[in-house]
Amino acid sequence: MLLENLINYGLSDKEAKVYLAALELNESSAQDIAKLAKINRATVYVIIESLVRNGLISIVRRGKKSMYLAANPNKMIELLEQQKAKIAAKVDEVRSVLPELETIYNYSPSKPRIRYFEGLAGLQELYRDTLKTNQTIYSFDPVHEGMSKALLKWLGEEYVPERIKKEIDIKVICPHFQQPSTARFIEESKKLRRELRLVPADKFPFTIEIEVYGSKVAIISYDVKEMFGVIIESEAVHKTMKCIFDLSWEGATKYQENN
């Protein structure tokens, strides 16, 4: 258990064994440490040098002979506090130049920015991005039965409540598949700030979700067998896809009487 704790602290397996051996032996020779740690002596010398650099072992001179003494275990807390202070300083430093860096990141005169996402965590990150602009989202959403259950749960419990909290409306064009997931989607729409227009699934059986928002377009495959997504950040692509959505939204009007 102690060995595992030391490895979690950041030591390698052999470093942890050497430190524990030195701790148990108190002031001791490399040979004694090697014997107790069950690591060959040549390797122990290399590991001791590493632990000395990290402040976890100190060298004690006894005449011409070098002995080794493990630092008090409290030293690890002290070292972690030092690392914490250094990280905090780095965070502050990055934070101070963040506005400048974001200006460079956001400046794209002609070249679009494309990002790829994969798996559950990737799609969660993608969906979170759609809430950054606080503007209406325009969506083509197939709402099909093959959707990952874990993603569906996360959308219902975290994403949608966050969207509602931010007062972000969404307009959705959805193929009217005769399935439970579509029925639930229709039933819940009004209370979830979601305006919905259904189109015949036999004429428009799309299975990929498209989100048009901000200056971006997200393309999402949330099928459990193929979970990936792409965000394209481009004014031209966004403008074109928004026109396509508006045209589709207007065209979907004629199907509403039958739904």
Q: Which of 72, 102, 124 is the last residue of a domain?
A: 72
HEC secondary structure over 97-111: HHHHHHHHHHCCCCC
Angle between helix axes 41-53 and 30-37 (nearest 10 degrees) is 110
User: What are the angstrom distances between the C-alpha of 29 and each of 18, 37, 66, 240?
Assistant: 12, 12, 7, 74
What is the distance between the alpha carbons of residues 151 and 137, in angstroms, rounded to a whole number? 19
Per the DSSP assignment, residues forming a β-bridge with 251 are: none
Residue scoring higher pLDDT (45 or 187): 45
In a domain, 88, yes or no: no
Cα angle 12, 18, 23; round to 5: 125
pLDDT interval class at 216 (50, 70, 90): very high
Question: What percent of the chain has a predicted confidence (pLDDT) above 70?
Answer: 92
In a domain, 172, yes or no: yes
Domain shared by 126 and 246, yes or no = yes
Q: Which of 40, 43, 39, 32 is nearest to 66 (CA)?
A: 32
Residues 217 and 241: beta-carbon distance below 8 Å: yes
Q: Is the pLDDT of residue 196 over 70?
A: yes
For the chain, the domain total comes to 2
Domain shared by 56 and 135, yes or no = no
Mean pLDDT of the chain: 87
Q: Is the pLDDT of residue 26 over 70?
A: yes
Q: How far is CA 6 from the centre of its chain?
A: 27
Domain shared by 61 and 117, yes or no = no
Domain with 21 in it: what CATH number?
1.10.10.10
In a domain, 53, yes or no: yes
Domain with 228 in it: what CATH number?
3.30.870.10
User: CB 254: neighbour CB atoms within 10 A?
Assistant: 9
Domain shared by 252 and 163, yes or no = yes
Domain shared by 240 and 136, yes or no = yes
Contacts of 147 (CB under 8 A, 6+ apart): 181, 222, 223, 224
Judged by DSSP in three states, 204 sits in: coil
Query: Looking at residue 7, what is its pLDDT?
Result: 85
Q: Is the pLDDT of residue 128 over 80?
A: yes
What is the distance between the alpha carbons of residues 18 and 34, in angstroms, rounded to a whole number? 7
Domain shared by 156 and 205, yes or no = yes
User: What are the angstrom distances between the C-alpha of 48 and each of 35, 45, 146?
Assistant: 14, 5, 55
Domain shared by 124 and 249, yes or no = yes
φ, ψ of residue 171 in degrees (nearest 5) = -105, 130
Domain shared by 28 and 130, yes or no = no
Residue scoring higher pLDDT (2 or 144): 2
In a domain, 26, yes or no: yes
In a domain, 87, yes or no: no
In a domain, 94, yes or no: no
Domain shared by 123 and 12, yes or no = no
Domain shared by 138 and 31, yes or no = no
Amino acid (1-letter code) at residue 246: D
Length of the chain: 259
Residues 176 and 143: beta-carbon distance below 8 Å: no
Give the domain range for residue 30.
2-72
pTM of the complete model: 0.58
Domain shared by 118 and 49, yes or no = no
